[in-house]
Structure 1
Amino acid sequence: MKVTETRLKGCFVIEPALFEDDRGYFMESFNQKKFDSILSRPVTFVQDNQSFSKKGVVRALHYQIGEHAQAKLVMVLQGVVLDVVVDLRKDSSTFGEHIALELSYENKKQLFVPRGFAHGFVVLSDTAHFFYKCDNNYNASSEGGIIYNDNTLGIDWKLPGKDLFLSKKDKLLPTLENARL
């Protein structure tokens, strides 16, 4: 397993070891003991989520605040997405900065998104199955979000705006400046 911390402290790219032969492949997608050693602290996941989306679907930029904040371990089971995280930790030197990373079935990369980050993705392939683990249960009253095209964030979603599809709810999200943090 190869683990690389991104420039956003606490956010890691994880590349599982892949064992391939003429039958196919095997990989260990999650191991609690190894994962805890990567972070140097225990993280207990309590909820798994999956989504299926078509090309151009943007599911972004979401987070939970307060006692219901969530850390996530995300991966793609089929297809390709551009995964984006934004640092919302006000005391962080990278507050308001983001990283974007292609996650795909082919590259098998995973991204650990710590608490205090907004997360989202856009589907770049015809379809994608997206899977993620959360370390806290969803709580609707603690939900927050930032509009995907906030100019202060400068995120390149890799597809023209006319080809992006958002939920009604996501179209109404505030900018970072006006977000409930």
Structure 2
Amino acid sequence: MKATPTAIPDVLVIEPKVFGDARGFFYESFNGKAFDEAVGRHVEFVQDNHSRSVKGVLRGLHYQVQQPQGKLVRAVRGSVFDVAVDIRRSSSTFGKWVGIELTEENHKQLWVPPGFAHAFLVLSETADFLYKTTDYYAPAHERCIAWNDAAINIEWPEIGMIPVLSAKDQAGVSLNKADTFE
């Protein structure tokens, strides 16, 4: 496994070693020991989630103010543009974002630690998105920042359509009104 820091060093691009030939491929999608070595500490995951979405669906920017979740995310079918936004006020990268295309072909994963808001936009006709979380889903503590907040200014890929949002995501607030972390 290769771990590469992004422009926000706490967010890592994880690239497993893929063994492929004419028959297909094999790789370890997760290895606890290798992952802990990559992030420099023990990380315990408690929940796995699977999301299927059609082209243009944008989910996020989500986070939990209590029971904050670290997320290890990947696309196993299709393609998504995945984004992490630092919402830790004490951080030198507060309000900054990083984004990466995750595809079934590139096998890349993104480690989004607690203290970040997370979103993804589906680029392919459909996408299956899998992610491991470090804490359980707690709807009472879930928050949403607007995907198009000018203060964050995420450069979403052009997909030829307006992103499709849930009612919850349509109600996302600006970063300056959001509950954040210290």
Which category of TM-score, normalised to the shorter sequence, fits these structures?
over 0.9
Does 2:109 correspond to 1:110?
Answer: yes
Alignment of 1:63-74 (within 5 A): 63-66=63-66, 68-74=67-73
CA displacement at 1:139 relative to structure 2: 0.7
Return the alpha-carbon distance in structure 2 between the equivalents of residues 179 and 17 of structure 1: 38
Does 2:61 correspond to 1:61?
Answer: yes
Return the alpha-carbon distance in structure 1 between the equivalents of residues 141 and 167 of structure 2: 19
Residue 36 of structure 2 aligns with which residue?
A: 36
Moved over 4 A (4+): none
Q: Tell me the SS of whatever aligns to 1:33.
A: helix
Cα deviation, 1:7-66, whole Å, max 9, x if unaligned, reads: 213110011101011211000110001111111211100000010000000001000113
Cα deviation, 1:84-109, whole Å, max 9, x if unaligned, reads: 11000111000000011000001000
Residue 145 of structure 1 aligns with which residue?
A: 144
Alignment of 1:22-171 (within 5 A): 22-66=22-66, 68-159=67-158, 162-171=161-170
Give the counterpart letter for 1:136 in structure 2: D
- Return the TM-score normalized by structure 2: 0.96
Return the alpha-carbon distance in structure 2 between the equivalents of residues 161 and 19 of structure 1: 35
Give the counterpart letter for 1:75 in structure 2: R
Give the counterpart letter for 2:121 in structure 1: V
Aligned residues of 1:87 and 1:98 also touching (Cα < 8 A): yes
CA displacement at 1:113 relative to structure 2: 0.3
CA displacement at 1:160 relative to structure 2: 5.5
Return the alpha-carbon distance in structure 1 between the equivalents of residues 97 and 73 of structure 2: 16
Give the counterpart letter for 2:156 in structure 1: W
Return the alpha-carbon distance in structure 2 between the equivalents of residues 99 and 10 of structure 1: 11
Gaps of 5+ in 2: none
Return the alpha-carbon distance in structure 2 between the equivalents of residues 160 and 172 of structure 1: 22
Change (3 A) 1:28 1:160: closer
Change (3 A) 1:64 1:161: farther
Return the alpha-carbon distance in structure 2 between the equivalents of residues 21 and 106 of structure 1: 14
Give the counterpart letter for 2:9 in structure 1: K
CA displacement at 1:163 relative to structure 2: 2.6
Gaps of 5+ in 1: none
Return the alpha-carbon distance in structure 2 between the equivalents of residues 161 and 175 of structure 1: 25
Aligned residues of 1:74 and 1:130 also touching (Cα < 8 A): yes
Identical columns (%): 49
